[in-house]
Structure 1
Amino acid sequence: MKYFIRGLFLSLVISLPALAQMQMLDRVAVIVDQGVVLESEVRKLVSEVKAEAAANNQELPSDAALRTQAIERLILRNLQLQMADRMGIQVSDPQLDQTIANIAANEGATVPQVREELMRQGISYDDYREQIREEMIMGEVRRANVRRRIYITPQEITNLVDVIDQQGSEQAEYELGHILIGFPPDLTDEDVAEARERADRVLKLLNDGSEFARLAIAASSGSEALDGGNMGWMNINAMPSLFAEAVQGKRKGELIGPIRSGAGFHILKIIDTRGIEVVEVEEVKARHILIEPSIILSEERAKNMLLKFKEQVLADEADFAELAKEHSADPGSALRGGDLGWANPEMYVPEFKQSLATLEPGEYSDPVRTQHGWHLIQLLDRRIDDATEQRKEDKAYQLLFNRKFAEESENWLREMRDSAYIEVLSD
């Protein structure tokens, strides 16, 4: 036995230099308030961007520029996750599993097929799960902090309804590329002049034939920089007001800018355009009972409560509306017996919307888990939206909300970044 212990001791001593070398492979790259960004995280993100660019035959800027953009994205991610910890925002495993199942379904696949595809690409399924969890958490943090910054006046709604009426049934959508030459926190006239000069240089490079996506990754301060500046498809009424005014009447391939805002100078490219077909929209009338799991009430008990409620309602031993008034954790609908009124199903979270799609009028769902908790849902009726004035106002409100949410999200992220302690450690 003593020889075995002595041999074990020697093997540990011999392995210490190797262990130390392994530990030195990772280090702190950035200090972010109470957290850190590791060098391994930076390298991983840069590798992912390079792999995606290679798959799309897209040129990239220098490694230094790519690293800078990766660090900025990781700083914002770290700050949002720290705020989520302070706010107590979490995503449970059942909620995460349901979201991944919905993602797979939207792609016409199953979760096992997603696992196989990830394995084929050399991506760990556990890593993928945690990435989705973080995206869900950051989404909740943004919604919680940005929503309260948004105020929409009745006059704004009326004005937009008038614009929609004037435009008639044909409206344009734009796929926009965006480069932001940002201002520093404590702005001076010299900073403005320098930013304008940089924006002019970028615009000249674009006019001379440089690739937009590559310059966006290299030079943009916008949140979509690592995506080549691509903002995706947007209705003209849903994009920031500054952009909406600039793109009207412009054609595919045109460059616009520099346009000044409080954030800096913007350069836009109309990557593509397409028309909008007016279609009839199906609306649903539903009611639900929401039970929120807690430290006291487990996930299983919350689910079983709703199963019991369903049995009682189907057996005429209980009234759905009375159960909702007594037990539902959704205060807005509970007072109405769980009634959610007529609504476009797109407004509901994916799990709730998917459950409604499987029901016939009068039917009850099995308990459904969403980010809000467990739901028992009854579909009361369906109808085709007849585009009434109320519908137009709802649409105008949502467009205004989306526009302001995008603008305020950028402002909120920038303010959070500017107020945080950030130290990028040198190599």
Structure 2
Amino acid sequence: MKLKLAILAMMAFVTFGSGAATQELDQVAVIVNQGVVLESEVQDLISTVKRNAVVNGQQLPSDRVLRTQAIERLIVQSLQMQMAERMGIQVSDPQLEQTIANMAESQGQSMDQLHASLQQDGISYDKYREEVRKELIMGEVRRANVRRRIYITPQEIESLTKLMDEQGEEQVEYHLGHILIGLPSDPTPEDIENERGRANKVMELLNNGSDFKKIAVASSGGAKALEGGDMGWLNVNAMPTLFAEAVQGKEKDALIGPIRSGAGFHILKIFDIRGQQKVEVTQVKARHILIKPSVILSDKKAESMLLEFRKQLIAGEIDFAETAKEYSEDPGTAIKGGELGWANPDIYAQAFKDALEKLDKGEYSMPFRSQFGWHLAQLEDRRVEDASEKRKQDKAYQLLFNRKFAEESEAWTREMRDEAYVEVVHNPAN
């Protein structure tokens, strides 16, 4: 009742001045557990999808269907943000600004150029900034909840390593499109038959020449529905097992499905196929000192502590290992003098990876912020990883992890959505 009253209050009208016109506040479109999705959020997402469709030359379904898909995505986002609040996951302003700067740099843009391009697209920087913050938070929530569902056995790694040896370095990658006709978590026989019928009808439309991406936006319950079902380039060993088996031996433009899984009925399209080139991976050997801000230690104070450590290290007044043992708040490395050992930099948080990339051997970074706190890092060495058995095992593990993460992420999202209380309270079409 309290929630309903709060929502009614938010939907109320306000009057400015005695004879002023009445203006309606932003309306609540959907109640999602303890939160809401606002009408402005729905309209913003629809506008973004339409803008991207124009850029990509993609056809879209009717506004009614587009609205349904947009609401569904925002429901899932709302659930993830509510979970983040319960878990205490936050992204600080310094970390957010650093991430945006890194994103701009990776696209060959300065911050001024990013501001200009956003302005040209009619997007305020503040809104863009908060969307990036939301994406970072949702990513952390997803990783934290899905990782615990993943278990990889030594036997799986051994089997995949053997398969990779048989395939050689030239492994095929597929650019896949995906449509999911979803089932509830505990479907009845009637649910299964109804959705099978829908999937067959979708397949019939596609076989008769309908645009795959348009149909995906209109009909798919998959995570990439609003992107036209585009899953990007995937190695067969990184795909869900069901998909890997289905695409073997198929040609470009092939339509595959419907394929039944616990999630529902899948339809795939192979947009393109390419050979995977051998890529050498650079490893880094690094160590760090981590200081975590708290109620009694501000971000500014944590940064200044590390600046002082850096100054003393360069002057030779203190020892890195001893300082890490005494002050670092990373329990896994502090006892080892901050040593992280040899590793592929891709395993680190983006801010940490970016910091190491800019360092020469033996050089200390400036203090930088990640989601874990403030770091001072030293790059001890860098090497090109050879094609050793260990490398192949690590690669096999990562491919298995990526495959299982995609499968479990979809299952986790579906379970979270099925358990949620959702009520659509505003629909302009009605």
Instruction: Report if aligned partners of 2:28, 2:426 keep a CA contact under 8 Å in 1.
Output: no
Compute the TM-score of the two structures, normalised by the length of structure 1. Answer: 0.94
Aligned to 1:339: 339
Aligned-residue offset at 1:249: 1.3
Name which of 14, 21, 24 aligns with 1:22.
24
Deviation of the 1:251 alpha carbon:
1.3
Please give the alpha-carbon distance, in whole angstroms, between the structure 2 residues aligned to 1:302 and 1:97.
17
CA distance in 2, matches of 1:171, 1:11: 66
Which stretch has the larger CA shift, 253-262 or 331-340?
A: 331-340
Alignment partner, residue 91 of structure 1: 91
- The structural deviation recorded for 1:387 is 1.7
Q: 1:384 to 1:56 in 2, by over 3 A?
A: closer
Q: 2: distance between equivalents of 1:327 and 1:340?
A: 16
Of the structure 1 ranges 190-199 and 98-107, higher mean CA displacement relative to structure 2 is found in 190-199
| Residue 118 (structure 2) pairs with residue 118 (structure 1) | yes
**Alignment deviations for residues 98-150 of structure 1 (CA, whole Å, 9 cap, x no partner):** 00000000001111110011011111000000000000010111111111111
Determine the C-alpha separation between the residues in 2 that align with 1:382 and 1:257: 46
Report the counterpart of residue 3 of structure 1 in structure 2. Answer: none
Say yes or no: does 1:13 pair with 2:18.
yes
Q: Deviations over 1:335-376 (max 9, x none)?
A: 211111111122222222222122121111111211221111
Aligned to 1:216: 216
The code of the aligned residue for 1:254 comes to: A
- State the match for 1:155 in structure 2: 155
Offset of residue 426 of structure 1 = 4.9
Q: Within 5 A, what are the aligned runs for 1:255-294?
A: 255-294=255-294
- Residue range with higher mean Cα deviation, 351-360 or 136-145: 351-360
Q: Structure 2: how far apart are the matches of 1:363 and 1:54? A: 46
Distance 2:383 2:109 in 1: 30
Structure 2: how far apart are the matches of 1:40 and 1:192? 35
Gaps of 5+ in 1: 1-9
Aligned position for 1:59:
59
What amino acid is aligned across from residue 50 of structure 1 in structure 2?
Answer: K
For residue 29 of structure 1, report the CA deviation from its aligned partner.
Answer: 1.2
Instruction: Give the counterpart letter for 1:187 in structure 2.
Output: P
Distance of 1:197 and 1:11 partners within structure 2? 54
- The secondary structure found in structure 2 opposite 1:79 is helix
Question: SS of 1:297's equivalent?
Answer: coil
What SS is found at the alignment partner of 1:375? strand
> Any idea what the Cα deviations from partners look like across 1:165-222, whole Å, max 9, x if unmatched?
1111100111110000011233111111111111111111101100000000111111
Distance 1:357 1:11 in 2: 55
5+ unaligned residues in a row in structure 2: which ranges?
A: 1-14
Structure-2 separation of matches of 1:122 and 1:406: 33
Report the Cα distance in structure 1 between the residues aligned to 2:79 and 2:251, rounded to whole angstroms: 39
Amino acid across the alignment from 2:63: D
What SS does structure 2 have at the residue aligned with 1:237?
coil
Deviations 1:306-332 (A, max 9, x none): 111112222222211111112112222
Question: Structure 2 length as normaliser, TM-score?
Answer: 0.94
Q: How many equivalent pairs are there?
A: 413
CA distance in 1, matches of 2:345, 2:185: 42
Partner of 2:7: none
Select between 261-270 and 349-358 the one with higher mean Cα deviation: 349-358
- CA 1:11–1:119 in structure 2 vs 1: closer, same or farther (change >3 Å)? closer
Looking at structure 1, the residues matched to 401 and 252 of structure 2 have their Cα atoms a distance apart, in angstroms, of 27
Q: Secondary structure at the match of 1:14?
A: coil
C-alpha distance in 2 between matches for 1:82 and 1:295: 23
Task: List 4+ stretches of structure 1 deviating above 4 A.
Answer: none
Aligned to 2:400: 400
Provide, for residues 42-91 of structure 1, a one-character-per-residue CA deviation record: whole Å limited to 9, x for no partner.
Answer: 12211221222122222111111111100000000101111111111111
Distance in 1 (alpha carbons) for counterparts of 2:28 and 2:195:
31
Structure-1 residue corresponding to 2:136: 136
Q: CA deviation at 1:279?
A: 2.5
